[in-house]
């Protein structure tokens, strides 16, 4: 039997590159598929792996290339990864790369683009919930899956230290979430659409412009501010899972990582919930 086609590589390689110029940050997040075609037939036909490059090495090449090319656009980055593979391994004949970009839009606070607060492009969906009886009704509005991030001014420290803890304290980390928020109306505002927009803008302003000691800390202050901004809201409920960006250890490759290259990961994730209402 003839082996008529074969290739292999690494799929779903996620990497975030972050350039920092003072308080002005630029995130570049990609998910890549990197596949190799070349003189690897013996691995299939004879169980001979001597020509094979570990797929873990392919992932490492993506990460090292990221550290060395923080500012390249997505196209240039794909070219750089392919160049490393072709120049390093003579048995590689073709490198096929597909990359999907997670696009982050810079959020504006009071009309001014913010240095390190971003919302995901094509973001979220609106929500309306109604419970109606002949004696009355409860109307809720909100948003689902609204994803946003800040690349500094966030920490998580001072939590329980026991035999199961492995996380160190962090005082400067990326904070990101995909938020579900639901607010319950006690009265009708003059304009629901305008009121909903004010609530969302308030939530993002508090998140982006204040230091966060944890999702819980930000969530509570975001809720307080929303209630203060729109008096017709009785309470606001949040579900805010963590979207983790883990600094990649580049020391095995002789490189430092000063908070510029991260592994984006969604699973498993923390899930934080709370409802903030008016006192009394």
Exactly one of 10, 59, 150, 243 is catalytic; name it: 10
Measuring CA to CA, which residue among 73, 58, 61, 59 is closest to residue 19? 73
Q: Is 55 a catalytic residue?
A: yes
Catalytic residue among 37, 55, 209, 229: 55
pLDDT score recorded for residue 267: 86
Alpha-carbon separation of residue 4 from 7, 85, 91 (angstroms): 11, 23, 18
Per-residue pLDDT tens digits for 48-84: 999 999 999 999 999 999 999 999 999 999 999 999 9
- Verify whether residue 10 is a known catalytic residue: yes
Q: What is the pTM of this model?
A: 0.89
pLDDT value at residue 79: 93
- Provide the pLDDT for residue 280: 73
Residue position matching structure tokens 């035999």: 163
Is residue 260 among the annotated active site residues?
A: no
pLDDT along the chain (280 residues), means of 10: 94 96 95 94 96 97 98 93 95 94 94 96 93 90 97 97 94 96 96 95 98 97 98 98 95 97 93 93
Q: Which of 25, 59, 243, 244 is catalytic?
A: 244
Query: What local confidence, expressed as pLDDT, does residue 266 receive?
Result: 84
Q: Identify the CA nearest to 5 among candidates 128, 83, 94.
A: 94
């Amino acid at each position: 039997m003839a082996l008529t086609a074969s290739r292999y590589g690494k799929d779903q390689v996620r990497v975030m590159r972050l350039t920092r110029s003072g308080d002005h940050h630029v995130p570049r997040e990609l998910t890549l598929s990197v596949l190799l075609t070349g003189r690897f037939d013996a691995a299939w036909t004879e169980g001979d792996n001597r020509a094979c490059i570990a797929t873990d090495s392919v992932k490492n090449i993506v990460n090292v290339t990221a550290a060395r090319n923080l500012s390249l656009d997505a196209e240039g980055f794909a070219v750089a990864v392919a160049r490393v593979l072709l120049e390093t391994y003579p048995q590689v004949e073709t490198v096929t790369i597909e990359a999907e970009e997670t696009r982050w839009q810079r959020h504006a606070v009071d009309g001014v683009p913010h240095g390190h607060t971003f919302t995901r492009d094509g973001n979220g969906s609106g929500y309306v919930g109604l419970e109606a009886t002949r004696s009355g009704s409860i109307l809720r509005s909100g948003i689902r899956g609204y994803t946003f991030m800040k690349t500094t001014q966030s920490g998580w420290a001072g939590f329980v230290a026991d035999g199961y803890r492995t996380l160190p304290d962090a005082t400067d980390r990326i904070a990101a979430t995909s938020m579900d928020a639901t607010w319950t109306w006690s009265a009708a505002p003059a304009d629901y659409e305008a009121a909903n927009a004010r609530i969302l803008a308030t939530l993002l302003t508090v998140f982006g412009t204040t230091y966060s000691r944890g999702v819980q800390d930000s969530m509570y202050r975001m809720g307080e501010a929303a209630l203060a901004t729109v008096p017709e809201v009785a309470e606001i409920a949040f579900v805010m899972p963590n979207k983790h960006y883990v600094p990649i250890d580049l020391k095995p490759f002789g490189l430092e990582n000063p908070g510029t290259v991260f592994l984006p990961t969604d699973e498993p994730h923390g899930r934080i919930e709370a409802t903030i209402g008016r006192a009394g």
